[in-house]
Amino acid sequence: MKKEIRLLGIDDAPFDKFRDGKTLIVGVFFRGGSSIDGVLSEVVDVDGTDSTAKIIKMVAKSKFYPQLKAILLKGLAFGGFNLIDIAKVSGKTKVPVIVIMRRIPNTGKMKEALVKLGKKSSIKLIEKAGRIHKAGVLYMQFSGTTLEKAKEIIRISCTRGNIPEPIRVAHLMASGVTLGQSRGKA
């Protein structure tokens, strides 16, 4: 696999779950973990159901799409509980999707919260995302690729820390635009 594989890292911006109806998501195109080629953005509903469609649209309309080899997501949900159907994103874009997590989520609590929010149908997206795998100090789920290739993509793109650089920079940009300066860990 080339060290400058074209990757897209996506993360959501901070939001107030009691006040905000929408939140920004930022995508950053990278050459491996070394340099930025471009930036994308979209807005999704907080606790909505539109993140999958918005990510597909954002990727498909990008001038970088023909070169894209993998999409890296910071978690399975953006905007609170706006869950992403990673198999659908991978299938529609014909690009592998890798979900990155610092720790294993408590899926039981997530499912309880979805029921309380009246989003019981979203529980199937948690199950559909598949098994959670260890990848160094991180955890991941993936669609459209193999475990070995997903681990290799993570290894290539983690150049400045434990989080893949495309996700780390997307996080910095999303929080910087929303809050006036970046904060927190990706």
Domain ranges of the chain: 6-179
Instruction: Quickly list DSSP for the chain.
Output: --TT-EEEEEEEPP--TTT-SEEEEEEEEEETTTEEEEEEEEEEETT-S-HHHHHHHHHHT-TTGGG--EEEEESSEETTTEE--HHHHHHHHTS-EEEEESS---HHHHHHHHHHTT-GGGHHHHHHT---EEETTEEEEEESS-HHHHHHHHHHH-SSSSS-HHHHHHHHHHHHHHHSS--S--
pLDDT one digit per residue (tens) for the chain, 186 residues: 888 999 999 999 999 989 999 999 999 999 988 899 999 999 999 999 999 999 999 999 999 999 999 999 999 999 999 999 999 999 999 999 999 999 998 888 989 989 988 888 899 999 999 999 999 999 999 999 999 999 999 999 999 989 999 999 999 999 999 989 987 776
pTM of the model: 0.94
Q: What is the pLDDT of residue 34?
A: 87
Which CATH superfamily does the domain covering 6-179 fall into?
archaeoglobus fulgidus dsm 4304 superfamily (3.30.2170.10)
